[in-house]
Amino acid sequence: MLDIKVIRENPDKVNELLKRRNAELSINEVLEIDKQRREVQGKADNLRADRKNISQQVGVLKKEGKDTTEIQENVRKLGEEIKGLEEKELEFNEKQKTLLLNIPNTPDETTPVGHDESANTVIKTVGEVPQKSFEVKAHWDIGTELDLLDFERGVKISESRFTIYKGKGARLERAIINFFLDVHTTDHGYTEILPPYLVNSASMRGTGQLPKFAQDMYKCEEEDLYLIPTAEVPVTNIYANEILNEEDLPKYMAAYTPCFRREAGSAGKDTRGLIRQHQFNKVELVKLCTPEDSPEEHEKLTRNAERMLELLELPYRRIELCTGDIGFSAQKCYDLEVWLPSSECYREISSCSNFGDYQARRAGIRYRSKLSGKPEFLHTINGSGLAVGRTFAAILENFRQEDGSVLIPKVLQKYFGAEVIKK
RNA sequence: GGAGGAGUGCCUGAGCGGUUUAAAGGAACGGUCUUGAAAACCGUCGUGUGGGCAACUGCACCGUGAGUUCGAAUCUCACCUCCUCCGCCA
């Protein structure tokens, strides 16, 4: 959520930044509502002050044994007037809140300006793209041949975009999860979190999934609960509506969770394989930090994610998303993309975003600033470290040998318990 | 699921219809003292939202939402959460 005070004081600046995302966006409507809202509030405040003073007088007069029926009747009428204004006040408040909740974050000044993904910039490319002398296969074929994945029966017991991992496949998935968690908690200083996989609507609003993206999520019919689309939601909201001490920052948290996404609107896209599933595993990195530290913490978090690809010896590149392509709540975002030989392209395997105070304001996550002594909204940062299913796919494709076996990356061998997967 | 009890500021905790402007203590911050620190003493100290260049000031907020009343932290109702006991259960 953007700060209404910032919008009020720098409307042109905010409008200009939002237009970098999308020319349609404007804060003019919310400014109009804000003006009306403040007007009503002023009137209501004055009347409430009157009522308070007169009611206090009633108390005094009654003690003196005087008759107050006429005054009481007048105050009762005043109360009715106040009630009318308060209804208006509430209406404007909610209208303003709704508008604000639907306005995306303003992009960071350093985010490259562009209309769509074609304007994203490649920051760096790491690792050699393997040149194979033999036939390259897609991970769904490799996984099926080696009896690691069962796509058909996954569909049978659920529906399309659900897959069963079995035997060595299930073991490899688990090995990747454990490897990621171990490195982040041991080498990178993150605290491991195992959060709930169902969260309420307030949490979804806090990180920005609601109200705009309700159709992307699975919702429980009977309760106010949603399946998490990413661990970002429960983990970021852990400190919702709290005031932390500045000494407790930064907070580094790492969480493995399954993620559930309806993928509404991606019908026909990546229908084969593990790339786009309704349920997938991910290890997510989340940081809470002061505004001063957030650019540096964002870079460090992205480096933490990149290190996973480097340790796994997977070729990748880092791109910076342009203003037209960054997520709704983000102000700056890097994507890490891993090389997938079968499709001869880089595919997203991690998305590392700095949200500034946008999520913190929505979720009410503050810290007491040493400098001002006042509670201030902190900054939130998160990124995948990494998407497990896509890592699985990348390993199968990049490490497949001519005889059809798949080598296990060195760092995973002790987790997996073998050096190679053969038929 | 059933029966009781409880939710007050950063924390503990008083207040249970009317100068409450939410007591008191702790923590925190500033100061005095000290070679330095501790202790002691003095002072500052809730959040949100308006008005004002500012000093300052209005209003709201006592789990959430409705209601009663001239007036609600205080009374009523519903809901949420936590605690105790019972039942069920991996």
All structural domains of chain A with their residue ranges? 28-101, 117-421
Beta strands in A19-138 (DSSP E): 121-126
Name the nucleotide with the smallest C1'–CA separation from A48.
B59
ipTM of the prediction: 0.84
Token duo for residue A139: 């991970």
CATH 3.60.21.10 holds for A117-421: no
Strand B proximity: list residues 229-258 of A with CB under 7 Å.
243
Distance A134 CA to B85 C1' (A): 71
Query: What positions of strand B are covered by protein, i.e. any atom < 7 Å from a CB?
Result: 10, 18-19, 29, 47-51, 58-60, 66, 69-71
A56 touches strand B (CB under 7 A): yes
Distance A60 CA to B69 C1' (A): 16
The reported pLDDT for the residue numbered A58 is: 87
The reported pLDDT for the residue numbered A245 is: 81
Distance A86 CA to B66 C1' (A): 14
A422 touches strand B (CB under 7 A): no
Distance A248 CA to B30 C1' (A): 23
Residue-by-residue DSSP string for A104-170 = PPPPPTTSPP-SSGGG-EEEEEESPPP--SS----HHHHHHHTT-EEHHHHHHHS-TT--EE-THHH
**What amino acid positions of A are annotated as catalytic residues?**
261, 276, 348, 351, 390
Residues, chain A: 423
Sign for the pseudo-dihedral over CA of A346, A347, A352, A356: positive
Strand B proximity: list residues 151-210 of A with CB under 7 Å.
none
Distance A423 CA to B1 C1' (A): 53
Tell me the average confidence (pLDDT) per consecutive run of 10 residues in chain A, 423 residues long. Answer: 91 94 90 92 90 87 82 88 89 90 95 95 94 92 97 94 96 98 97 92 92 91 89 92 84 96 88 94 96 95 98 98 96 98 96 96 86 84 96 97 96 97 92
The reported pLDDT for the residue numbered A281 is: 98
Q: How far is CA A77 from the centre of its chain?
A: 49
A46 touches strand B (CB under 7 A): yes
Distance A333 CA to B66 C1' (A): 44
- CA-nearest of A105, A116, A163 to A357 is A105
Name the nucleotide with the smallest C1'–CA separation from A62.
B18
Strand B proximity: list residues 335-394 of A with CB under 7 Å.
366, 373-375
